[in-house]
């Protein structure tokens, strides 16, 4: 029987290095030069590139990819443990070569791309010479592919794409757009004629119109009409990775809450001695650890089966992460008082991010339906009016087990009858 909650000493050493590296190098970078990690300014690159090189020297670059694709091949469980640290720091995923939406797009290229597509796009994305975005949701259909209208029509040696996409995260700063059409996923260079960024869209999550956008035939990724299959491959990994990083945010909020509980006084005592604050701490502790165990179990399951086989667990992780982040960050805001309501700590951003987590990659309600439907497949309706655990019926069946003993010993049968009358009298 294998049942273990420990981490190998060699990998724990890596985790300790990552934790120290993020505190000493990445956090100061985020505070002084926010956004530097994607800047093409030579001065910014002179600061950022050596940090990336340190990560590569430790064998931690592109940690989500298998060895044959240029990553360390850690698997999802080790990736979860790493993301518990990286998720605390804005630039960390980029400096470790594992930032969304690049990661999901690289996974698609690795799994479905031709050799030419890998050479043209996967390698530059891995080296962060190019940046990408995933253009999926639509204004009228949200994330339901059955309601999508964006379509690619074949015209000679080209595909012609027409449609409208909403909430394409990091689209404006990308070099490549992975556009999900009703009949496939197409790689579109962002500066292609006909790609129109709408000015009224959200700043970080762009509203894009595709007006007669032409790309060569080899810009189709995977098979024609394979968009749904590719999207599920991409989103399954993305959801579990978001949940991994959510643990980091929850822990950061929890640490702030506990520190504050021991640092401030109210009504004659340290606020950590007030029962309402203690309840906030106790509930948060339990919820964070329940989420963490769910995510680690799911990551382990993926490593030992597949994303497809783990889809019910992934869906549960997705909505549980959003709920836990919302609850823990809200409690932390209350414990910090007026300071918690400002943008002088990370708490407001965490709390504001919880609703986004609840709708991105499919709304939580859809994932709850998925979990319920998949769980119910393992059950069957009971026969008759009463459920399987109806005690009078179970007791009658249990008596049959002792029928021979009762026949041989009337006193034993009478004793069983007395017990039955006694239980019936108790109601």
Pairing of strands 158-169, 184-189: unpaired
Joined tokens for residue 27: 């956090």
The answer to whether the Cα torsion of 70, 76, 82, 88 is positive or negative is positive
What are the tens digits of pLDDT across the range 13-53? 999 999 999 999 999 999 999 999 989 899 999 999 999 99
Handedness of CA 128, 129, 133, 134 (dihedral sign): negative
Other Cβ atoms closer than 10 A to 363: 17
- pLDDT score recorded for residue 200: 83
pLDDT of residue 236: 65
SS (H, E, C) the chain: CCCCCCCCHHHHHHHHHHHHHHHHHHHHHHHHCCCHHHCCCHHHHHHHHHHHHHHHHCCCCCCCCCHHHCCCCCCHHHHHHHHHHHCCCCCHHHHCCCCCCHHHHHHHHHHHCCHHHHHHHHHHHHCCCCCEEEECCECCCECCHHHCCCEEEEECCEEEEEEEEEEEECCCCCCEEEEEECCEEEEEECCCCCEEECCCCCCCEEEEEEEEEEEEHHHEECCCCCHHHHHHHHHHHHHHHHHHHHHHHHHHHHHHHHHHHCCCEECCEEHHHCHHHHHHHHHHHHHHHHHHHHHHHHHHHHHHCCCCCCHHHHHHHHHHHHHHHHHHHHHHHHHHHHHHHCCCCCHHHHHHHHHHHHHCCCCHHHHHHHHHHHHHCCCCCCCCCCCCCCHHHHHHHHHHHCHHHHHHCHHHHHHHHHHHHHHHHHC
Which stretches in the chain have pLDDT values below 50? none
Nearest CA among 221, 215, 225, 287 for reference residue 250: 287
The arrangement of strands across the sheet holding 184-189 comes to 132-135, 176-181, 184-189, 220-221
CB contact at 8 A, 314 and 306: no
CB 367 within 8 Å of CB 147: no
* Alpha carbon distance 107, 87 (integer Å): 20
Is the distance from CB of 54 to CB of 48 less than 8 angstroms? no
Question: Please, are residues 263 and 252 in contact by the beta-carbon 8 Å criterion?
Answer: no
CA distance 15 to 22: 11
Say how many CA atoms lie within 13 Å of 26 toward its Cβ: 24
Q: Which domains, from first to last, does the chain contain? A: 9-104 (1.10.540.10), 132-221 (2.40.110.10), 228-376 (1.20.140.10), 391-426 (no CATH)
Measured between alpha carbons, how far is residue 276 from residues 14, 263, 283, 284, 335 in Å?
38, 16, 11, 12, 10
β-partners of residue 208 are 165, 197
């Amino acid at each position: 029987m294998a049942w273990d909650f420990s981490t190998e000493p060699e990998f724990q050493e890596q985790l300790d290095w990552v934790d120290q590296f993020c505190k000493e190098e990445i956090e100061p970078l985020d505070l002084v030069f926010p956004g530097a990690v994607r800047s093409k300014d030579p001065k910014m690159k002179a600061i950022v590139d050596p940090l990336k090189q340190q990560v590569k020297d430790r064998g931690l670059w592109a940690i989500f990819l298998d060895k044959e694709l240029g990553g360390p091949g850690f698997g999802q469980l080790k990736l979860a443990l790493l993301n518990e640290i990286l998720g605390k720091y804005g630039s960390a995923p980029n400096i470790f070569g594992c930032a969304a939406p690049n990661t999901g797009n690289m996974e698609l290229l690795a799994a479905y791309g031709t050799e030419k597509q890998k050479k043209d796009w996967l390698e530059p994305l891995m080296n962060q010479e190019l940046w990408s975005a995933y253009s999926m949701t639509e204004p009228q259909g949200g994330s339901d592919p059955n309601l999508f209208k964006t379509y690619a029509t074949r015209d000679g040696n080209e595909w012609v794409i027409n449609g409208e996409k909403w909430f394409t995260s990091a689209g404006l700063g990308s070099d490549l757009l992975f556009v999900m059409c009703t009949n496939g996923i197409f790689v579109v260079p962002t500066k292609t004629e006909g790609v129109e960024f709408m000015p009224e869209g959200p700043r970080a999550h762009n509203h894009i119109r595709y007006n007669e956008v032409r790309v060569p035939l080899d810009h189709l990724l995977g098979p024609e009409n394979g968009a749904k299959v590719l999207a599920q491959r991409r989103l399954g990994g993305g959801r579990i990775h978001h949940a991994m990083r959510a643990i980091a945010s929850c822990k950061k909020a929890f640490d702030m809450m506990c520190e504050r509980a021991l640092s401030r006084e109210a009504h004659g005592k340290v606020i950590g001695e007030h029962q309402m604050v203690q309840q906030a701490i106790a509930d948060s502790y339990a919820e964070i650890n329940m989420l963490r165990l769910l995510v680690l179990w799911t990551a382990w399951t993926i490593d030992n089966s597949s994303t497809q086989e783990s889809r019910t667990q992934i869906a549960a992780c997705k909505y549980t992460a959003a709920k836990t982040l919302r609850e823990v960050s809200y409690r932390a805001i209350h414990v910090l008082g007026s300071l918690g309501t400002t943008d002088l700590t990370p708490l407001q951003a965490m709390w504001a991010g919880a609703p986004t987590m609840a709708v991105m990659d499919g709304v939580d309600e859809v994932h709850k339906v998925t979990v319920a439907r998949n769980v119910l497949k393992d059950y069957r309706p009971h026969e008759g009016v009463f459920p399987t655990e109806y005690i009078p019926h179970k007791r009658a069946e249990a008596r049959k087990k002792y029928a021979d003993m009762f026949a041989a010993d009337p006193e034993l049968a009478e004793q069983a009858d007395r017990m039955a009358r006694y239980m019936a009298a108790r109601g």
